[in-house]
């Protein structure tokens, strides 16, 4: 199963493709889509949308996992990121891909085993899970890979629970 993990943003969108092979997660491709500050928001949204569509078409994931947005201060930023997240969801939905969302706490729990883990701990465990030489940069990329790993673990658990419930 190929999973696309996304860390939504308007300036930087982190993405990471992993293949779940049995109990292992193998990195396929990762990076970020960046938009220029001071560019009209509609152009930034178009750039994000087209970037996600190109990635989906090239790497053909079976599922998309996004980090849920959490903002407690800047409403303007929340609105922009929410719109960017919307075009990401649209791109995946147009391709018929199942979309799952995970809170930052769920991602931390899946990666580190502790929902209030430090960002650095999550990044280091992500690096170790995927056997990478270094933590991917910028942070949004490592976060996207962590979301993909979270989905891989959650998908496995949910599949097993559904098997038990069906029998």
Indicate which residue of 19, 140, 143, 163 is catalytic: 140
Q: How far apart are the first and last CA of the chain?
A: 24
Q: Based on the residue annotation, tell me whether 140 is a catalytic residue of this protein.
A: yes
Give me the catalytic one of 50, 67, 124, 143: 67
Report residue 77 as tokens. 């930023």
102 beta partners: 67
User: To which residue do tokens 């996600």 refer?
Assistant: 52
CA 93 to centroid of chain Cα atoms: 15
Residue with tokens 């995927």: 130
Question: Exposed (0-12), middle (13-18) or buried (19+): which is 116, by Cβ within 10 Å?
Answer: exposed
Is residue 19 part of the annotated active site? The answer reads no
- Strand 2-7 and strand 12-21: pairing? antiparallel
**Cβ atoms within 10 A of the Cβ of 102, count?**
21
Q: Which residue among 7, 62, 118, 163 is the active-site one?
A: 7
7 known ligand binder: yes
The annotation places the binding site for Mg(2+) at 7, 67, 140
Active site residues: 7, 67, 140
The annotation places the binding site at 7, 67, 140
């Amino acid at each position: 199963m190929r999973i696309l993990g996304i860390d939504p943003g308007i300036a930087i969108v982190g993405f990471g493709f992993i293949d779940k092979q049995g109990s292992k997660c193998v990195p396929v491709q990762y990076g970020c889509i960046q938009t220029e500050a001071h560019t009209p928001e509609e152009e930034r949204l178009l750039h994000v949308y087209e970037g996600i569509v190109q990635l989906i078409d090239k790497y053909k994931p079976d599922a998309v996992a996004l980090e849920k947005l959490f903002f407690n201060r800047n409403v303007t930023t929340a609105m922009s990121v929410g719109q960017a997240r919307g075009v990401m969801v649209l791109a995946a939905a147009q391709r018929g891909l199942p979309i799952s969302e995970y809170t930052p706490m769920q991602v931390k729990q899946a990666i580190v085993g502790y929902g209030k883990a430090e960002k650095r701990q999550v990044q280091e465990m992500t690096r170790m899970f995927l056997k990478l030489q270094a933590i991917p940069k910028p942070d949004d990329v490592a976060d996207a890979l962590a979301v993909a790993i979270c989905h891989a673990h959650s998908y496995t658990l949910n599949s097993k629970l559904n098997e038990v419930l069906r029998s």
